[in-house]
Every structure is written in structure tokens, then in C-alpha cells.
Structure 1
Amino acid sequence: MVSAVEDTGEPRAAWGAVLSMALCVAMLIASEFMPVSLLTPMAEGLGASEGETGQAISISGLFAVLASLLVTTAAGTLNRKAVLVAMTAFMLFSLVLVAAAPNFAVLMIGRALLGICIGGFWALATAVIMRLVPESEVPKALALMYGGQAIAAAFAAPVGSYLGGIFGWRAVFWALTPIVAVNLIWHVVALPSLPAGPRQDVRAMLGLLKRRYFRRGLIACMLSWGSAFTMFTYLRPFLEQVTGVDVATLSFLLLLLGCAGFLGTWAAGRFIKGNVAPLLKLPALVMGGATAGLLLLGHSVLAAGLFMAVWGAMNTMFSVIWMTWMSQNADDAPEAGGSLMVAAIQASILLGAVVGGLLLDGISIRATFLGSVVLAVLAVALIRDGRHMLKSKGA
């Protein structure tokens, strides 16, 4: 197997491997958030409320948190290629469980298994990218990998909503399984051997948490992600109840949101380089503003489409901005940094789904979106100009 490192020690750009990871990202995003576009029929089919079914996202988030914190320790000296292949195999099995689930309990088991895959993959992803390409190419490679997020956002939700309306929600999950199987084979062929580096366990994570700049960044990242997914998890109920859309219009709006993500991916690859401090507040500022716009003008399909496009474009830049920050400010412990970042993000998604569901079932969908805006405001207030979250400034 070809190594990703030249004799000089400088990584040789392995773009085929980066592309295989991009496809894995697309499948992870599609698998994790497909319930967003299928929330109503899944709830009806399983005899649960929409708020309860939304917890299918939170349970995957819970297990992703645990997996992300444990994977670098549990993997030990295992070749990282083998770990990534195993995570993709878990995703395939989880999709089969969800598609065939006879009841809500089995659905949650399948989602828990998906969470292990999500946490394990994302905890290692940035560190692996840093080994596949030269340092100067890391932001570009991250943007390419997260291009998979744009693809999933563009097509998974609208296609899932449309096909779910015709064939049923189970058929949508079955349709993902052959793509994941192909991705599993691609990993085996394209990924170079990635021997484990110096052990990065709980002590390495605690060492990072002792750094004030990293703690601030982690909290700001959590607030930003919590805001985004308090809103996104319950976007379909909002569009149905407030905007008053039918399935066809819903699918079009979700497609618009996803396609806008390609603009975000292009912008991320072109403009994110060097110091990312000024960009750290953009996700919470722009996406929180779009959510506020939906609250105020969401009764209009035209306005809803505009704000969803803005939200979608920033959504694909979101991950690249924060993972670039991590690669620059935890470069001495990338696997430990990746584990903490993924744990923080997944915990935020979990809490966003839980709190959003409670607000939806207990008050209204507008209360859920208002909670999202509040979290965005807190994130922007904490980040400010971002300089106190840099290694050279805030240690």
C-alpha cells in the first residue's frame, strides 16, 4: 500500500483518499440528519410524537460524544485506516437496523450504532487530513472533505422527503445502504496506511482543556452548533406549521438550502486560509440572523426560501472554519483536539435536539426557533473578534 508520506517526511497529497472521506462525510450527514426530512412520517409509522422522534438524532449524538472521547484511546496503536474502515462498516449496519426497525426501540439501537460511527470518524478525520496533504493544503482538503456535507445537504433531505412521500421512509434508508457499501470498498482501496502516531489519550485531552484559548473556542463552538441544530432538527415542523408548505414545496425548499451549500463550500476553499479568528463568529451571526428572519417572515414561502439559502451557504462553511481553527491551534495534539471538538459538537447537537423537542412539544415551534436565536447571540458575544481564541494570544 502506498504511503501518504514522502521520504522527506512531507505528506504527498492523496486526493483520492480525501475524496473517499468526502463521500463518507456525505453518507454520515445524510444518515444522521435524514430524520429531519422524514420526521412526520417516521413519527406516525412508529406511533411516537414528533418531539420524541427528534430524539433519534439526540441518541446518535449521545453515542457520538462517547465514541469521540474514547476512540483515540480505544484505537491505541491500531492503524487509522483500519479504524476508518470499521467506522464505515458500523454505518452500513446501522442503516440496515433503522430501515428494518419494527419499533421505536430498535430504531434507537440503530441510531446509537450510527453515533459510534459518527464520533469515531469525526474524531480522527481532521488529524487524518493533516497527514494526507501538506500543511498549506489542509484548509483546501478540509473544504473538499466537507464538500460531502454540501452534497448531503443539497440532495439527502429533499430527495429523502420526496421519496419518503412516494415509497415510505424505510425505503429511503434502504437506498443509502449500497452507496455506503461502495464507500467502504473505496476506503480500502484509496486510503494509504496510516500507522498510529504518538498516543493521544485522556491526558492529552485534559492538557488541551487547560489552555484557556482552547476552552473558550470549544465553548463558542458548542454554542454555535447548538444554535444551528436547535433550529435545523425541527425545520420541517416549522415549514409545515408556520409557512404552510406541502411535501413538494418542502422538498424544493430543502433542495434550495442544500444547493446553497455548494456556494459555501466554494467560498471555504477559496477564502479560508491563514488566520481564521475574524471568521469564527460568522456561523452564529449569519445562521442566527437567518433563523430570526424565519421567525419574523417565515409565513412567506419566498422569504423562507431566501433565509434557508443563506443558512445553507453558511452551514457548509461552518465546519471548515472551526476545524481549520482546531488544526492551527491544537496542531501538537490533533487527534485529542479532534476528539474534543467532535464531542463538543455532538453534545451541542444532542442538547439542541432535546431542548428544541421540549420547546416544540411544551410550547410551540416558534419557541424552538427563538431558543436557537438566543444561543447564537451568546456565541457571538463570547467570540467577539476571535483573537483570544488563538494559540499565540490566549494561552
Structure 2
Amino acid sequence: MNSSSTMLRLISVAGFASMASMRICDPMLVALSREFQVTTGDASAVIAAFAVAYGVLQLFYGPLGDRFGKVRVIISATFACAVFSAVTALAPTLPMLVASRAFMGAAAAGIIPLSMAWIGDSVAYEQRQETLARLMVATVSGMMAGQWFGGFAVEVLGWRLAFAVLSLLFLSAATMLLRQVRLTAARAVASGEGVAEEPAPFSLQAYLATTKRLLSMPRVRWVLAIVAVEGALGFGTMAFVPARMVDGFGLSPSAAGGVMVLYGVGGLVYSLMARRWLAMLGEKGLALLGSVMIGGGLLLLAWAPLVPLAVLGCFSAGLGFYMLHNTLQVQATQMAPEARGTAVTLFACLLFLGQSLGVLAVAASVDRGWIAQVFSIAAVCVVVLGVLVSRRVNARVLQGKTA
């Protein structure tokens, strides 16, 4: 195995852990609300705090990666996640727990975007799509593992031990990455390749000017607005699916976490079939079908009389989400090719800010007993969103390549 393959594998482990940390609290909300004697909506602040910090800090990691090296920043962010995960495990009060989750989200924000940027720098275009798919498998698997392990830990280990285990995973990934970087550097010196040139210093003025110029472009503003709404509708409702399965269908927290794994399975199925489905449906068809599947899944979760139908709804919503979201990702990579890095970080920031607003909105409804109604409204809105996206994307059928 060459050094690039080893680096990708280790970066994927860090990505797996970061996505697990994002979703690990979803099945814990009911247990946290009982332990800290607050409502489920109040307990959901642990999800919103992570999402806000994760979304905002992505704007800063791009320049840091360009200035100090992407892998170096990934390693630092992974070490920081290990520290804040341990702090989370020891949090004595809900405000401390929320604060530690916010710091954890701020640290985790530097892992996935810079991993994608490293792949862009290190992998030839012909192999880039396949390589990014491998990273996507790791991140989706991390979301699935986090949702399942969060529910399992609540019942068997206790939620605090779950964060201790997560801390060890981050620490292991960071340590192995650091060791691989040092080994690669030593080999480069031994082979006479030397050290890479120092990148140009980061200019805040230039970065702000580029951001201002991007925001002045109607196409950029449209994509950013759409992805913010998508984040609110998709992630905002997803965070409360375990609570819905516990309170509405009588499942245990671990079983509810297991059901949420199907959401991630939908993402894995899409990643395996994406090339074929893009060739068959094109971006327009993919956006429409994805939005309909999300809407149908949310309606099943809201009103299904039987648990198996709700489980089917979870899988349908997951598969549909990745269909729609991948279409928006393609739009993000093409909305400003001359400033792709900055454009994509803005895209990621708006996605997670939308998620946090969605979590807050749904949380208020959950505390009033309106979760089924809110899921239904979200189902209708996401279908409308899919129609809007389908009208704006290119009509051409993609042949398995995305920029």
C-alpha cells in the first residue's frame, strides 16, 4: 500500500469519527432530557450547538489548510476532537454539555472539507470521483455508527462512556495520521525530493473580497439559499426521528438508533448506484425522485400505524436525501469554478446553519406534541424544493462524472 492510499485510509477514519460525533446524540435526547430534567426540545441544543459551530467554522479551515497544510490541520482538528469528546463525557450540567458539543463541532469542521480538498490536490481527476466515493462511504458509515452506538450506549454503557470511546477513536486516528505524515516526510527527504514549498500567506482582505464577489452572483445566492432550506428540512427532521420512534412507536433507544442506521444505508446504496442513476435520470430526475422519496419517508414516519412502515420511511428518506443533496453538491462545485474552494466552504456553512435552524424549529414543535404535523409540513416543502431544484439544474444527463 503506497503512502497516498494509507493517508486516504487514515483520513477516512478521522472522517468516520467526525460524522459519528455529529449524529451520536440523536438517540440520546430522551435520556438526556430525563437526566437533566429538561424537555426533549431543550436537550436538542446539544445537536444544534454542534451544527452551528460545525457550519460556521468551515469558513475558516479552508484558509488555514492552504496556509499550514491540509493534513496538518486535519491532524490538529482530530486531536482537538479527542480532547473535547473527553470533556463532553465529563460534563456535569446541560449547559456544559452544550458548550463542549459546540467546541467539538468547531474542531470537527476541519476534517471533512479539508479531506476533500486534499483529495483534489493529490488524486488525478480520472480517479477522483471513485476516491471521493470511498470517503463518502466512510462518512456515511460514521453517521450510521454514531446513531446506532448512541442508542446502544444509552441502554448498556451510559451516554458518558459513549463519548469516552469516541475520544479514543479520535486520538487513535490523529496519532496514526501524525505518524504517517512524519514517515512520508522522512521518505521524501531520503529520496532527495526535499520539502514542499511554503504556500503563499493567507490574505484576509483577498478572502473577504472573493466572498463578497461570490455573494453578488445570483447563481451562488440561489444554491446557498436552497441548501440552507434543504439542511433545515432534511437534517432538522432527521435529528428527531429516534425520539419519534421511542415516543411514537415504543421502541427502545438502541432500537431507535438501529432504525436510524437505515437512513445511512440509504446513503450507501446511493453511493454504489450513483453513476448508473445519474446516467438514467440526469440531475433533474434525480432531484425530483429524491425529494419525493424524502417526502414519502417523512409522511410514513409521521403517520404510519405500524413500525415496519416507519422503518421503511426512514430508509426512503435517507436514500432520497442523498439523491437530492448530491445534485446540490454538483451545483456547488460549478457555481463559481474560478473560486471553487471558497464557494464550496460557503455551501457547507449554509448547509449546517440551515440544519441548526431546522433543529431549533422542530424542537419547539416537539415540545408541543406537533412532531407528526411538522414532519408532514416538511414532507410537502421538500417536494416543492425538489421541483425548484429540478427546474434550475442542467437538463443534460450526466455520464457518471461530476466536477
Relative to the length of structure 2, the TM-score reads 0.83
Task: Give the distance between the partners of 1:280 and 1:194, measured in 2 at CA.
Answer: 43
Task: Give the distance between the partners of 2:249 and 2:85, measured in 1 at CA.
Answer: 31
Task: Give the distance between the partners of 1:302 and 1:194, measured in 2 at CA.
Answer: 57
Asked if 2 retains the 8 angstrom alpha-carbon contact of 1:54 and 1:357, the reply is yes
| The 10-residue stretch of structure 1 (373-382 or 278-287) with the greater mean CA deviation from structure 2 | 278-287
Instruction: Give the counterpart of 1:231 among 237, 240, 244.
Output: 237
Residues 21 and 368 (structure 1), Cα distance of their counterparts in 2 relative to 1, 3 Å cut: farther
Q: What's 2:329 paired with?
A: 323
Q: What's 2:71 paired with?
A: 81
Counterpart amino acid of residue 299 in structure 2: A
| The 10-residue stretch of structure 1 (330-339 or 227-236) with the greater mean CA deviation from structure 2 | 330-339
Q: What's 2:136 paired with?
A: 146
**CA drift at 1:311:** 2.2
Q: What's 2:298 paired with?
A: 291
Residues 221-300 of structure 1 aligned to structure 2 (within 5 Å): 221-247=227-253, 249-268=255-274, 276=283, 278-297=285-304, 299-300=305-306
**CA drift at 1:348:** 1.0
- Identical pairs, percent: 17
Asked if 2 retains the 8 angstrom alpha-carbon contact of 1:161 and 1:251, the reply is yes
**CA drift at 1:233:** 0.9
**CA drift at 1:280:** 4.2
Provide the secondary structure at the position in 1 that maps to 2:24.
helix
Asked if 1 retains the 8 angstrom alpha-carbon contact of 2:56 and 2:353, the reply is no
Asked if 2 retains the 8 angstrom alpha-carbon contact of 1:124 and 1:338, the reply is no
Instruction: Give the counterpart of 1:163 among 153, 168, 176.
Output: 153
Task: Give the distance between the partners of 2:8 and 2:179, measured in 1 at CA.
Answer: 12
Instruction: Give the counterpart of 1:93 among 71, 78, 83.
Output: 83
**CA drift at 1:66:** 2.5
Task: Give the distance between the partners of 2:140 and 2:197, measured in 1 at CA.
Answer: 27
Deviations 1:44-83 (A, max 9, x none): 2223221011111111222223212233345662222221
Residues 336-347 of structure 1 aligned to structure 2 (within 5 Å): 336-347=342-353
Residues 113 and 272 (structure 1), Cα distance of their counterparts in 2 relative to 1, 3 Å cut: farther
Provide the secondary structure at the position in 2 that maps to 1:120.
coil
| The 10-residue stretch of structure 1 (306-315 or 177-186) with the greater mean CA deviation from structure 2 | 306-315
Q: What's 1:6 paired with?
A: none
Asked if 2 retains the 8 angstrom alpha-carbon contact of 1:64 and 1:115, the reply is yes
Task: Give the distance between the partners of 1:100 and 1:239, measured in 2 at CA.
Answer: 28
Deviations 1:161-190 (A, max 9, x none): 123201211111111122111211233245
Q: What's 1:184 paired with?
A: 174
* Structure 2: 5+ residue stretches without partners: 185-195, 397-403
Counterpart check, 1:357 vs 2:347? no
Instruction: Give the counterpart of 2:219 among 194, 213, 216.
Output: 213
Structure with higher Rg: it is: 2
**CA drift at 1:160:** 2.3
Q: What's 2:309 paired with?
A: 303
Task: Give the distance between the partners of 2:347 and 2:197, measured in 1 at CA.
Answer: 21
Relative to the length of structure 1, the TM-score reads 0.85
* Structure 1: 5+ residue stretches without partners: 4-13, 391-395
Residues 386 and 217 (structure 1), Cα distance of their counterparts in 2 relative to 1, 3 Å cut: same
Instruction: Give the counterpart of 1:348 among 346, 354, 374.
Output: 354
| The 10-residue stretch of structure 1 (176-185 or 95-104) with the greater mean CA deviation from structure 2 | 176-185
Asked if 1 retains the 8 angstrom alpha-carbon contact of 2:27 and 2:243, the reply is no
Q: What's 2:190 paired with?
A: none
Counterpart check, 1:16 vs 2:22? no
Q: How many residues are paired up?
A: 378
Counterpart amino acid of residue 161 in structure 2: A
